[in-house]
Structure 1
Amino acid sequence: MAAVAWIREIEYLRGFSALAVIAVHISMNFTLIPAVNLLALLNVFVYIAAHFAVPVFIFISGWVLAARYWGEYSGPVYYRRRARAVLPPYLLFTALYLLVPVEGAIRFAGVPALDAVASALFLGTAAYHLWFFAVIIQLYVLYPLIVRGYNVFDRAGAALFLLLALLFFQILWNVGAHAIGAFAGADWYTVLIRLFPSHLFYFVLGIHVARHTGRFRSVLRPLSPARVIAAAGAGALLVGGMWAATVLLSGGFSGATLGVFCVYRLLEPFYYVPVIAVLVLVAWRLEAGGILSAASRSFGEHSFGIYLIHPFVIAAAASLWFSLTGFSWADWLTYPVIFAAAVLVSYAVVRVLSGVPYAGWLVGGSRVRREPG
């Protein structure tokens, strides 16, 4: 096993992705706005443009795992550490979200049926954000095989060919998932989009960057930040604008055709890759130090727990805000207020819990530095 060195970009990237996840899960409430107005269209755009969050998390996972587990390492030790890192939090929060759903008003749902428990465990359906665990657990299990396959191509000098092939394969898989879901039933899409090929390119891209971190930095450093930002911004305008136009013309998100979904799946990787580059450039700028740098680093270090609990905070903050003000998801002020509350309260709760024995282990916290994958 290779020596583990701290990769300075990682903490910042985790923090940026956690912020994007929160933005996605707040902006998705545009569906509760009764009319297709400017507020709804703006939130459609944010909802789509911020979807880089999970691909970046998976890219980070590939990067960190490959930095830690490279060459000779103990398979049993690897699987034990991965299971200890991800299974207890996943099982605990699956149980909590089954008992206390957070879609709409927070309520006690009672003891769930066995089929609901099975679906929640295997597909991450207990809450709208837990599907990520269904994907990442598969990638963790398959990592030893994936990295061996990558090594074969890398030793042959064909790693970039592998990445292009995986990009093409991932696009076909995700487009196919939508097509099969449209003709065979939505349940097929739910399963296929949670299988590891749906995000395999991002994971292997992270492995590639870990293997060639110096080259990655040397290639990215001379690039013009303005051009990289422009590329990412153009991608956001393209995918976000496409969905905003679809909602405007069809009168709602449900009016999107299969063609729109397929074009979106075709375009999204070409947007997410420049976003990764932008986030790394921002991380380098923050590395200069200061209050913002420290806050960003700390937020990233606690991002695992923030990811787990933020739906509780969003639902509670929304209920309190609506009861105190009479506002709803149809009001402009609701979105920045709930976003700020979700960011600050989620961070504060995880920061406190990270210092509590057992609770800190379940929500991440300082564990990130000892077990970075």
Structure 2
Amino acid sequence: MKKEHIEEIHYIRAFAFLAVVLQHSIGHYIFVPEAHLADGVAFTFLLLISKFAVPMFIFITGLVLFYNYDGRLNYWTFMKKRFSDIIVPYLFWSFIYLLIQNHMDVLSAINRFGEVFLTGKASYHLWYVIMIIQLYITFPISRFIIMQAKRWIRTPLAVYTAFSILGIVYILLMTYPIHVTAARWNIPLITPILTKYADRNALNFFYYFALGALAGLTITHWRAWLSRHAGWIYSLFIVMSGIMAYRTISSFGLLPALKTEYSQLLLLRPVTALFLISSVFATYLFCMRVSNIANSPTRRVVTFISHYSYGAYLVHAFVLGLSYWLPDYFSSSINVTLRTIIAFVIASFLSVMLTYVLSKLPMGHIMTGLRRVQSKTPKSNSTSATM
């Protein structure tokens, strides 16, 4: 039987991509000398409304995997598709970024390639791909565990209890991070994974994946539950946003000179984790409702961005480097916040359009993970597991 088309995933994927570009645009302007306190406050709120990106990408990965693969899993076919659609474009762009870093010296890029392709260090944004690949590789294990747990977790009370306990465990891991103990162990390979590369260790994001699995296995009930508790969900998100804003802005230094810092918003912190969990519920609810009321032009634009989002994610760091030129040219007449927003809009548009153009080339699949289609309108499956 053909599965239901999950329309809201297009909106989640598109908005999450835009949120990533916004965060990285802010990252460029956040410490420029001409930034004022007002810019710091504006950046705080812009970061808060865009921080949902990584948790939501992980969430929808869990959702679509458990939604699509509820029957027999052919692991070879499964990983072959991920290698073709996810890993190959990642390797291609990793090499491109290495070429840029090494001033187009091919030999230097080749020599460094083996060093960085397993860690995602060819560019600042590629850590996410390394982390998400781990979820694909270990999917049969996580699938087995969750499907076994499903036999015991049958009632709403059991679901609430299980995910509350799991959430507490997750927050405790953020509070008493395992990397402290791992550093003392100093075990080859294991210690670096848990310390130096903790931000790209999939175990540090497992709760969002588990929530996605819950949604994928119970999509109708998941939607109904969100709708019933919309008021509480939005209220919790607003309260947590206020707490995070206060913690961040109160950490700013004003004397002898303005000093802004945003470590309170790092992903692997306990309070941030609470905020991000609330953002998962709020973002899904928002996208679900927007998808229900959006008109045809909006749906086409959102579907277009969603379809090309993975390739656009890979290329956006390169495009951002070019996008700063225009707003910086007018730096004497516009403030830093406005320059950030201009760079974000330019980079978002160019990243998606460049991915669209590259996907039409004979070797476009290698660069974008997308196969060429005959139709002028992208036939993007809402349950695709790519970004």
TM-score bracket relative to the smaller structure: 0.7 to 0.9
Residue of structure 1 aligned with 2:216, choices 210, 214, 220: 210
* Contact kept? 2:237, 2:275, Cα under 8 Å: yes
Q: Distance in 1 between matches of 2:208 and 2:384?
A: 18
Letter in structure 2 aligned against 1:78: F
Give the unaligned 5+ runs of structure 2: 371-377
Distance 1:119 1:191, change over 3 A: farther
Distance 1:137 1:182, change over 3 A: closer
Is residue 2:262 matched to residue 1:245? no
**1:269, distance to aligned residue in structure 2 (A):** 3.0
**1:135, distance to aligned residue in structure 2 (A):** 0.8
Distance 1:48 1:126, change over 3 A: farther
**1:175, distance to aligned residue in structure 2 (A):** 3.9
- Superimposed CA distance per residue, residues 15-41 of structure 1 (whole angstroms, 9 cap, x where no aligned partner): 110111011101123443226622133
Distance 1:100 1:89, change over 3 A: same
Equivalent residue for 1:73? 73
Is residue 2:98 matched to residue 1:98? yes
Distance 1:286 1:213, change over 3 A: closer
Q: In terms of mean alpha carbon deviation, does 333-342 or 358-367 score higher?
A: 358-367
Letter in structure 2 aligned against 1:94: S
Distance 1:228 1:293, change over 3 A: farther
**1:46, distance to aligned residue in structure 2 (A):** 2.5
Q: Distance in 2 between matches of 1:328 and 1:342?
A: 21
Equivalent residue for 2:37? 37
Is residue 2:340 matched to residue 1:335? yes
Q: Distance in 2 between matches of 1:159 and 1:368?
A: 32
Equivalent residue for 1:135? 131
Distance 1:143 1:183, change over 3 A: closer
Structure with the larger RCO, 1 or 2 (CA within 8 Å, 6+ apart): 2
Q: Distance in 1 between matches of 2:325 and 2:178?
A: 34
**1:262, distance to aligned residue in structure 2 (A):** 9.1
Equivalent residue for 2:22? 23
What is the number of residues matched between the two proteins? 363
Q: In terms of mean alpha carbon deviation, does 285-294 or 172-181 score higher?
A: 172-181
Coordinate RMSD, CA, aligned: 3.4
Letter in structure 1 aligned against 2:43: N
Which structure: greater helix fraction?
1
Equivalent residue for 1:120? 116
Equivalent residue for 1:344? 349
Equivalent residue for 2:374? none
**1:162, distance to aligned residue in structure 2 (A):** 4.1
DSSP 3-state at the match of 1:369: coil
Residue of structure 1 aligned with 2:275, choices 268, 271, 277: 271
- Same amino acid, percent of matched pairs: 22
Give the unaligned 5+ runs of structure 1: none
DSSP 3-state at the match of 2:269: helix
Distance 1:48 1:177, change over 3 A: farther
DSSP 3-state at the match of 2:73: coil
Equivalent residue for 1:153? 149
* Contact kept? 1:46, 1:240, Cα under 8 Å: no
